[in-house]
Amino acid sequence: MSKETIRETIGVLGVVASLLFVGLEIRQSTAVARGQTRQELEAMNQDWLTLITADPYFGDLWYRAWITDGEVTPDEEYRATMMMLQFMRRLENIYFQRAEGLVDETALRSYGLQDVATFFDRSRFQTWWVERGRREAFHLEFVTFVEEQATANRSGSR
């Protein structure tokens, strides 16, 4: 084997080793990004849960407005609307994080997807979602996904 062939072989091995190293670095960066995303989602969820449990008025309003379809004043209706908007935006964010591969399907379930079928059964949510056009405020992919999930959950197929 000539010296030139040996140098070329060493060069090729160096390139292959560099590519393997870059691949490992990308994999580690992806794992870090997934971990950070999940941590940020968890922090957002903790804020939500703290608000519902630490503020009796907030928790009661959420329960009356969205869980039992109970009576609310016009001011409470506005607050309840903003609460649901926040809830659905959070879920939409998680949906797109999952679509990007940053979190898995369990994240959607962990942060409230299973509650959507319950909401769809409530007249207040139907009014908010359909009659008041809130569904148009969300990305069509998310709307389709949520409505399919709600239908599947109500029919017991999930």
Q: Is the pTM of this model over 0.85?
A: no
Rounded average pLDDT over 13-18: 83
Question: Residue 123: phi, psi to the nearest 5?
Answer: -65, -35
41's tokens: 């989602």
Q: Residue 142 above 90 pLDDT?
A: yes
Instruction: Kindly indicate the confidence band of residue 158, based on its pLDDT and cuts at 50, 70 and 90.
Output: very low
Residues 92, 94, 99, 100: is their CA dihedral positive or negative?
A: positive
The full set of domain ranges for the chain reads: 3-155
How far is the C-alpha of 88 from the C-alpha of 85, rounded, in Å? 5
pLDDT tens for 40-58 read 777 777 787 788 888 889 9
H helix or E strand, kind and range, residue 33: helix 3-54
As a whole number of angstroms, the distance between CA 129 and CA 8 comes to 65
As a whole number, mean pLDDT of residues 154-158 equals 56
Distance CA 107, CA 91 (A): 9
Is the pLDDT reported for residue 141 higher than 50? yes
Query: CA–CA separation, 150 vs 158, rounded Å?
Result: 10
pLDDT at 36: 75
Q: What is the mean pLDDT of the chain?
A: 84
User: Alpha-carbon torsion 136, 141, 147, 149, what sign?
Assistant: negative
What pLDDT is recorded for position 38? 66
Above 90 in pLDDT, residue 155?
A: no
| Residue 116: other Cβ atoms inside 10 A | 22
Classify residue 114 by its DSSP letter: T
Dihedral pair phi/psi, residue 3, rounded to 5°: -60, -35
Q: Which pLDDT band holds residue 76 (cuts at 50, 70, 90)?
A: very high
Question: Please, are residues 71 and 139 in contact by the beta-carbon 8 Å criterion?
Answer: no
